[in-house]
Amino acid sequence: MRRIFSFSLCTAGLIGLAACDSKETADVDRAFADVNVVDETNLNEVMLTAADPNEAVTYFQRTLGQHPERIDLQRGLAVSLVRAKRNTEAVAAWKKVTSHDDTTSQDRVELADALIRNNEWDQADQVLDSIPPTLESFKRYRLEAMVADSNREWDKADSFYETAVGLTTRPAGVMNNWGYSKLTRGDFAGAERLFSDAIRQDSSVFTAKNNLILARGAQKNYTLPVLPTTQSERAQLLYTMALSAIKQGDTSIGQGLLRDAIDTHPQHFEAAVRSLEALESNVAN
């Protein structure tokens, strides 16, 4: 009887040890699963920012093959395709994201952005119209402004640009876009003001500097404003102003500006040299 009791105790002990082993194994598996989730999250972030865009596309395509229903991976692929400038594929990827059960209004904003990049303005307009007005984001209003511009709805464009400027701490880019909108409408003074504001916000945006020269040139103001520029940038701005003057028939002013551009550039300024030679040849003939 004592043997049976002893055997029962041993058996109970073995079962208890087995249960402990099983519990410990489960705990370890959960711990490693948590680590893997953290590692994967970090890797996803790296792929979305630091990695080569095409390498990121390959990574997310491969990972989606293992987890096709995960919307975070679908978003990662769509973002990476936009970064890689593979716009047609990006549109298809964002459409898949927006058809997911867990999609958000922000996903539709990203779809509209991809459609605009792919020159599908009408579809982008429809997507933006489908987004509830409760979503008030910088990107949403910047895209709304761009679509309004494409439709030549100037009052709406101005309103959307103004709202977008108020929703970001880095408004230089949208100010430059707004200024270019004014430039295309023929509001040169308004464009000049906005380009100046953009440069004041971020003096590294050369496009805004070049656009500022175009706005001033359109008003036959052929003097360079005080701007923070490198020598090469200054030469390029003089060249832009020269072409603007020539286009408006102020040939002699254009010639002088081309010479200034050539003299200012720290290296050989091939484009300005060719333009000056062509201009002098036409004048001689």
Structural domain contains residue 127: no
Q: What is the pLDDT of residue 48?
A: 86
Q: Of 83, 103, 123, at which residue does a domain stop?
A: 103
Structural domain contains residue 176: no
> What CATH number does the domain containing 68 carry?
1.25.40
Q: Cα(240)–Cα(213) distance, rounded to whole angstroms?
A: 7
Structural domain contains residue 277: yes
Structural domain contains residue 236: yes
Taking residues 231-252, report their average pLDDT. Answer: 97
Structural domain contains residue 198: no
Residue 273 confidence (pLDDT) above 70 = yes
Q: What is the pLDDT of residue 22?
A: 52
Name the more confident of 12 and 142.
142
Closest CA to 157 of 135, 182, 137, 139: 182
Structural domain contains residue 170: no
Q: Cα(144)–Cα(166) distance, rounded to whole angstroms?
A: 14
DSSP H helical ranges for 104-226: 105-117, 121-129, 138-150, 154-165, 172-185, 188-201, 206-218
What's the structural domain count of the chain? 2
90-111 pLDDT per residue, tens: 999 999 999 999 999 999 999 9
Q: Cα(212)–Cα(197) distance, rounded to whole angstroms?
A: 10
Residue 54 confidence (pLDDT) above 80 = yes
Q: Cα(214)–Cα(279) distance, rounded to whole angstroms?
A: 20
Structural domain contains residue 30: no
Taking residues 136-152, report their average pLDDT. Answer: 97
Structural domain contains residue 241: yes
Q: Is 21 helix (H, G, I), strand (E, B) or coil?
A: helix
* Structural domain range at position 59: 36-103
Q: Of 103, 118, 146, at which residue does a domain stop?
A: 103
